[in-house]
Structure 1
Amino acid sequence: MSPLGTGDLRRIFENLDKNGDGQVSLEELNWLLEKIGIHHSLGELELSIGKPSLDFDEFLFFYDSISSEETMRSGGVESRESSGGDVNQETDLAEAFKVFDLNDDGFISCDELQSVLSKLELWDERSGRDCNSMIRAYDTNNDGKLDFEEFKSMMSITIS
């Protein structure tokens, strides 16, 4: 998982907090997780979090904990999922890749990236971000789009 800065996480939190109460409900959090290919029931999510909603600091802690878990998994540290973790991780990444690959051609273009980020309410035209530069940062063969291997690199996960 690519590390996000506090400003990025603040924008994600604010976009998830639809009613503006300073809390992200488990339903809102689960919606985001499903959009990026991580599927849990609300019951599982509530068991792991232990409460019905998160404030921003708790959201940061949640992000840090799932980032640490991914880092441990990608670094070869055995996770709770037994030796099938790499297979599950590859499957999760493939599902996430499919979310972005809208035309199912095996590549993520700038338009696809911007479209999905807009649907997730994580893209703001006023931010001045350029999806071409985002893609160029990980486009190792300079074809202007990301294939699955480049996507995995972007997600900073090494799968052996």
Structure 2
Amino acid sequence: MFSLNRSHLQQIFNKLDKNGDGRVSIDELMWLLERTGIDTCRADELELLLGKTSLDFIDFLFFYDTIINIDGNKLEENQDSLIESDLHKAFEVFDSNGDGLISSEELQNALSRLGLWDEHSSSPDCKSIITAYDTNSDGFLDYEEFKDMMLFAKS
């Protein structure tokens, strides 16, 4: 997840600290959370949670770190879900006959349609690619084998 460095956080803190007293009130913090789209509780609940009516810069850093870690976990879960959905869609593109398996011919056709296959290149043929990821040795890629291939290629 995107995170800010201390300098950026100091700038944000200073902008939130409207009266310049070196503290950010619960209302100012609520305004920031609402503007950033972070689901929050009511101001009185946030105050109870923090045990304070305002935060100095150090408290603000701890609060930011906590929010990033909580929100980062949600973001990671959402990203995993999106990746899984995208992989299913990609699998359907490669599995042109819809039998749940990708043959070397289907792989070559899909790669050709995507402009990723050059028959004159010295790269491995599609049978070799299938063999490399075909863990059950049936000569095809099922969804899990395809997923492993795609995630390996990504890294």
Q: Which category describes the TM-score, using the shorter chain as reference length?
A: 0.3 to 0.5
Normalization by structure 2: what TM-score?
0.47
Higher helix residue share: 2
Normalization by structure 1: what TM-score?
0.46
Query: Larger Cα Rg: Structure 1 or Structure 2?
Result: 2
